[in-house]
Every structure is written in structure tokens, then in C-alpha cells.
Amino acid sequence: MALWISDRPLNQGSVFGMSSEYRGLGIFIDTYKNNNQKSGSRSVFPWVSLQPNDGTPNKYRKDLDGKDTEIGGCDMHRLYNVKKNAISKMKVTYLRRSNTLEVDFDIRGDGNWKNCYSTTNYLVGNIPNSPYIGVSAETGQLFHNVDLYEMTVSSLKDSTGEPLVSVEQLVQRIDSEIAKDEDELKKKDLDSETKDRVQRRRQRRLDRRSKRKTMSRLLGLEDL
């Protein structure tokens, strides 16, 4: 399957179900080895591959599993045989001002995040200013079922819509949102469905706040 960050909605095509002429970044979770040659072949699968493209047709070569065009990736052999009812998670963080990109995975859904790829020298042009985000999949005779439970997109801005300029501001914003959720949960007329949704949202924000050290490591400095 693939996560797409592109400059426009994509049409169906030959790259994980989508067009090869995309502009942006594709993050491919590849579970099947197409290249059976001993030389120039990757031996470990599943593999996560980060594939930027500027709109060049057929830049990604399926017969090489994209090894010649990826900017980075990681081994995901732990993705198989995850315990029952566990939900694997992927987190992508991009900070345009500092050219920082990081991809992390929590395979077993237990809060144990592992870094897959990170750089502080990412080319700004590879992520559109106003990106479209989507997911696709492609399979053959061998296949896996994948259930997509949730996708959350957050922008690092303050309450007035201005970009955050420090990690401290980000933590303060998260704290403010948690306080709003707690106030809403105190309402007596809150129905059970809304209460569950607010509780899940509050927990996600608490999880973000607990990653403060991770954010500092990601930035390497206090300026976003």
C-alpha cells in the first residue's frame, strides 16, 4: 500500500494503484519482491520506501522495487503476525522551514515508536505547499488484507492561524486543546458517541504531549 502526499488528486495507474506521474512524495509499504535478480536487488521484505517525484512518468520502476530512486527506507519484517486486535500506526512529520522529514512506526500499537527515516536536509520542492493526502493499494495473486482505521492530519499553527516557531509553543497549543476537551467531557448532556470521540481525541493529544523529547530530537534546535 502507499501513502501519497501530492500536489493534486491522483488518477489510477501502475504505481501501487496510482499514476506514475505524481508530483510530491510516495511512502510505499511494499510486501512483495518483484526483482528476483541477485545483483541490484533488495533481499528484505516488507520494506518501506520513500519515493519523491517531480511528475516524471514511470520514474518508479516496479521491476527494481524502486531501489534506484528511493531517498530512504527501512525494513518492516515485524509487520507480519502482529498480535490480534493490535493496530499498527505510521507517523509522518514534516517541518518545511527546517527541511525536516521524519517517518516513524508503532507496529504493535503499544506506543513503542521506532524511527524509519529522518533527515534535516529534505528538498522543499518534494512536498507541495498545499498537499493532497491519500492512500492506495495494489495486489496480485499474493495479497494481504489491510484495514485503514483512521487518518489524522495536524498543522503546526497557533490559535490565530500563524505558524508555530518553537517547540514550547507547540506544547502550549496541545495543552490548550487538551483543556478544551476536558471541559467538553464535563458536560452532562454529552451523548455516549460524542463522549467517546472526545476521549479518543484527548488521548491522541496527550500522546503528542508525551513526545516532547522526541520533537526536540526531531528539530535538533528550538526553531521550527
Q: Which among 52, 35, 55 is positioned nearest to 44, based on CA atoms?
A: 35
pTM greater than the 0.75 cutoff: no
Q: What is the pLDDT of residue 15?
A: 95
Q: What is the pLDDT of residue 220?
A: 53
pLDDT greater than 50 at residue 223:
no
Q: What is the pLDDT of residue 221?
A: 44
pLDDT greater than 80 at residue 83:
no
pLDDT greater than 60 at residue 217:
no
Q: Which residues of 30-57 are buried (b: 16+ CB within 10 A; e: fewer)?
A: bbeeebeeeeeebeebbbbbbbbbeeee
pLDDT greater than 90 at residue 133:
yes
Q: Considering only 98-102, 111-115, 123-127, which range has the smallest mean pLDDT?
A: 123-127
pLDDT tier at 224, thresholds 50, 70, 90: very low
Give me the long-range contacts of 45-48 (CB less than 8 A, separation at least 24): 45/77, 46/75, 46/76, 46/77, 46/79, 46/80, 47/73, 47/74, 47/75, 47/76, 48/73, 48/74, 48/76, 48/103, 48/105, 48/116, 48/117
pLDDT tier at 115, thresholds 50, 70, 90: very high
For residue 218, which phi and psi values (nearest 5 degrees)?
-60, -45
